[in-house]
Structure 1
Amino acid sequence: MRNFLFFILFFPSILVLSQEEDTLHWLTNLEEAQKIAKKQDKSILVYFNGSDWCAPCKMLKEDFFNSEEFQQKAENLVLVMIDYPRRVDIISEAQMEYNKQVMEKYNAEKTFPKLLGLNYKGKVLAHISGYSPLRDTTHHFHFIEKILQ
């Protein structure tokens, strides 16, 4: 009986947690994304993120990336996240060095959050920086439509 009660109480919490998981597949290597984009004839969305310190990045994730509308549009994109955390335990040292190199090329001003649309050759199609405290995602969806054309 005790095991049954535990199962009844514990199982629903697992379902809730699994539903909250990020369903998007973010790559962390731009060259890999370019190969996939060429093969699948898709544009690349690069997201420059400060995962542990950037409040607008966290709001953008909640309001934009976690939205059903974005998740549908993301099926037509190759997603790349270039994280620039302050804590050293979030990504490996090698990943941090790689991310710095990508930032030097595509986000030298270190703007967060920044979204960049690229073709498979690495040519910039469009970009958008920042996120308003008003939490209006209209401009971000216009940006997505622009790179999907």
Structure 2
Amino acid sequence: MKNIVLLLALCIGTLAFSQEEDYSNLNWLTDFDQAKKESVTSKKPILIYFTGSDWCKPCKSLKTDFFNSEAFEEKAEHFVLLLVDMPRRTDLITPEQKEKNKILVKKYNSEGGYPNIVALSQELKVIGELSGYTFLRETDRHFAFVDAIIEKY
């Protein structure tokens, strides 16, 4: 009986942990070509989130405080969301995806800052960029950034 209770607790804990990485109910794409097509079809700008999901503490905090918030979920409807992850662990993304992400980092995150948010027009021109997240965990700058992009487009 103790083994069953322990197994059940382990399963529930694993489920809770895996849901934490979910980025709420948002549709984050990982393929740039797909994001481009969706941007043209929907006439929405692309919002790229550059993250180091397994090593960047500010990225993890920004995900929790900003991207997983209900307030951002409402604003996300105005964007095509693209997640560009550069993890250190080799089992989190495929080698092919890592190579594609390196190309995007070189082109749109040349300073190499993490976390970094870049907004692109349908023509793939940078229309805004916001880098970093402080230990104070204030999301005001991030909401002002997405609001400004929404107003323009």
TM over 0.5: yes
1:64 paired to 2:82? no
- Offset at residue 147 of structure 1 (A): 1.3
- Offset at residue 19 of structure 1 (A): 7.8
Hey, what does 2:99 align to over in structure 1?
97
1:110 paired to 2:112? yes
Gaps of 5+ in 1: 1-5
TM-score normalised by length of structure 1: 0.86
| Counterpart code for 1:24 | L
Q: Out of 81, 99, 124, which is 2:83 matched to?
A: 81
Q: Out of 33, 39, 48, which is 1:37 matched to?
A: 39
Paired residues of 1:34 and 1:119 also in contact (CA < 8 A)? no
State the 4+ residue runs in structure 1 displaced beyond 4 angstroms: 16-21
Separation of aligned partners in 1, 2:117 and 2:83: 9
| Counterpart code for 2:113 | T
Query: Judging changes above 3 Å, is the alpha-carbon distance between structure 1 residues 19 and 48 closer, same or farther for their aligned structure 2 residues?
Result: closer
**Number of positions where the alignment pairs a residue of Structure 1 with one of Structure 2:** 140
% identical aligned pairs: 47
1:27 paired to 2:38? no
Separation of aligned partners in 2, 1:135 and 1:58: 11
Considering only aligned residues, what root-mean-square deviation do their CA atoms show, in Å? 2.1
Paired residues of 1:44 and 1:80 also in contact (CA < 8 A)? yes
Residue-by-residue CA offset, 1:89-133 (whole Å, 9 max, x unaligned)? 110000000000111101122110000011111100100000011
- Offset at residue 80 of structure 1 (A): 0.2
- Offset at residue 30 of structure 1 (A): 1.7
| Counterpart code for 2:143 | F
Separation of aligned partners in 2, 1:31 and 1:142: 28
Separation of aligned partners in 2, 1:74 and 1:47: 12
Separation of aligned partners in 1, 2:55 and 2:143: 24
TM-score normalised by length of structure 2: 0.84
Hey, what does 1:148 align to over in structure 2?
150
Paired residues of 1:47 and 1:81 also in contact (CA < 8 A)? yes
SS of the counterpart of 2:80? Answer: strand
Hey, what does 1:54 align to over in structure 2?
56
